[in-house]
Structure 1
Amino acid sequence: MPTNWFDRNLKWIYTLPAVIFVLLMMVFPILYTGRISFYEWSMSAMTPPKWVGLANYTALLTEERFWNSVKSTFTFTIGSLAIETVLGVAIALLLFRDFFGKNIVKTLFLLPMVATPVAMGLVWLLIYEPTIGAANTILKMLGLSPQLWIASPTQAIPSLILIDVWQWTPMISLIVMAGLATLPSEPYEAADVDGASGWQKLTHITLPLLRQTIIVAMMLRLIDVLKTFDIIYSTTQGGPNNVSETLNIYGYTLGFQYFKLGTASSLLVMFFALVMGATLLMIWIRKRLEASA
């Protein structure tokens, strides 16, 4: 048995450096950003920060460009998450079956997820190039008319959603495949005895048992897709005409192009609240599903 104070508190002593590091690297920037949001501060001026209270927040809430960025954020997030969830679950079910070359197919399928997002954005920028891009080349081969893709105000966000779906659907599939590996065999054996079809086993056994796993995958992906910055900035930078400008992109523009640090901080505080709210909503949904199971 430990006899001195040091031995009795080893678990706290060894974890204290990590706790201090987390506080300094995460909590302090959040608190500092919250403080700056109440000031009018421009990096392009020599004047010190000026206290303005909630003026930055009210100015943003009455600004059309802010609400357009909110709309773009939700459109991109909901579209990406919905498609990735459906495709991810379907592909996981396919890849979980035994077939020749299964491991090679799984490895190739996971490659987009491990690639650098900015590099992938630049690759897709070339693919979407209106004149010599691969996307329009394929359309011409199929006898279809070429498109403007990310250069079109109506096609920019769907084109960005396609990039996100291509890169991050494997993440949903990977989590779902892990869930499939843990499913018990007894319900399927009972279903075989009762003569259930493959579709009945999928809808009445597999998907209900995977419900918690799918919710966790959606929650992780929701947090990530809300914060998407690199893909959008490396391809459209919020254009054309700010139609693909999400809250992340708009906050960057305010802070590092217009040098309005106070306004940018207030936007990021609201964005942080949005991400936290979406996360808490997914946690609440998961708990409700656990309670009803």
Structure 2
Amino acid sequence: MAATTGVRTSPRKTYSDWANRHRKWLFASPAIILVGLLITIPLVWTIYLSLTNSEGSVRSDHQFIGFDNYAEVFADVDRFWPAVVRTFIFTGGVLIIELVLGMAIALLLRRPFRGERWVRVAILLPLVATPVAIGMMWKLIFDPNIGFANQALGFFGIAPQPWLSGEFTALPTLMFVDIWQWTPMVVLILLAGLTSLSEEPDEAARIDGASAAQRFWFVTLPLMRTTVIVAILLRSIDALKTFDILYATKGKGGGSFNEVETLNIYAYGLSFDYNDYGVASAVLIIFFLLIIAIMWLITFKRKEKVSK
């Protein structure tokens, strides 16, 4: 009787085949693990500190106090809740205006024209400088005594304005600065979406007699839904955590009246001005959960509209 011989696969060959099938994950795994650790370790440490009475120094002795810090934060009607309101006003205001301006500029740049390259370069100039440098530049422009803004108003016979030094004008002024700097990024995102659209739906609507406004509202905008959602996500996250411009122009506490104190400025003051790390960590965790909730709401609404 002939002996039956079987071909044995070596372990090295088996591993090589497995690695070849999963090579994309093997190559990406070091970066994924590193990024995961960079996110997880600080987050876990912040959660731990938020449940303690840590103050003075993070290395000092501290005790576990549960959710007392969170109760203290929610009971702070003088600083915390006004900071929450300012954060939403700042984020919502700049986001709406940047989307409207960004879409308008992107529509203007959609068609080729003479000098198009120079116009695009000029629009992108605000993105070149760092937010701190931008903040210091506008601080000089809005200076109540020597600033160019009040000098320009005086040329038209308008009284000088407090701009950054006013209790009720500082936040709108800084919203203007943010809009000036970050609208170009929205333009880039929306322009990329517009240039990728097919011309056929717009041409068909034009043949049917639709006006320019009707073609934009009923043809272009629905096709741009995904791109607009991406722009909203990126800018809302960035605007929520705005810190550089606010601190560079107004300093500690967001000004003498806390007029531009958002949640970022509030948490920074608790950490580095008062060294109250437990309460500051609680504020940061609340802020983190707030951002996650907003991002989930935006993506959930997007999926809901797509499913319909």
Pairing 1:161–2:175 present: yes
Pairing 1:110–2:130 present: no
Pairing 1:21–2:37 present: no
AA paired with 2:54? W
Pairing 1:8–2:18 present: yes
* Selected match of 1:193 from 193, 207, 228: 207
Contact preservation (8 Å) 1:212, 1:289: no
Pairing 1:49–2:59 present: no
* Selected match of 2:108 from 94, 119, 133: 94
SS of residue matched to 2:256: coil
Q: CA deviation at 1:6?
A: 5.2
SS of residue matched to 1:281: helix
* Cα distance in 2 for residues equivalent to 1:188 and 1:203: 11
- When residues 37 and 152 of structure 1 are mapped into structure 2, their CA distance, relative to the original with a 3 A threshold, is same
* Selected match of 1:30 from 29, 33, 43: 43
* Cα distance in 2 for residues equivalent to 1:47 and 1:104: 57
Q: TM-score, normalised by structure 2?
A: 0.90
Match in the other structure for 2:73: 60
SS of residue matched to 2:13: coil
* Selected match of 2:289 from 269, 273, 279: 273
Contact preservation (8 Å) 1:41, 1:49: yes
Matches within 5 A, 1:76-87: 76-87=90-101
* Cα distance in 2 for residues equivalent to 1:211 and 1:204: 11
Q: Which runs of 5+ in 2 are unaligned?
A: 1-8
Q: Which runs of 5+ in 1 are unaligned?
A: none
Pairing 1:236–2:250 present: yes
Contact preservation (8 Å) 1:151, 1:240: no
AA paired with 1:278? I
Q: CA deviation at 1:7?
A: 5.5
Tell me the matched-pair count: 292
AA paired with 1:61? F
Identity of aligned residues (%): 45
* Cα distance in 1 for residues equivalent to 2:97 and 2:58: 45
Deviates more, 1:98-107 or 1:57-66: 98-107
* Cα distance in 1 for residues equivalent to 2:256 and 2:303: 41
Could you give the per-residue CA deviations for residues 125-146 of structure 1, whole angstroms, max 9, x where no partner exists? 1111101111111111122111
Contact preservation (8 Å) 2:58, 2:277: no
Q: CA deviation at 1:44?
A: 5.4
> Which of structure 1's runs of 4+ aligned residues deviate more than 3 A?
44-47
Higher Rg of the two aligned structures: 2
Aligned-CA RMSD value:
1.8
Could you give the per-residue CA deviations for residues 212-268 of structure 1, whole angstroms, max 9, x where no partner exists? 211221111101100101011101131131121000011000001100111100100
- When residues 180 and 48 of structure 1 are mapped into structure 2, their CA distance, relative to the original with a 3 A threshold, is same
Q: TM-score, normalised by structure 1?
A: 0.94
Contact preservation (8 Å) 1:43, 1:259: yes
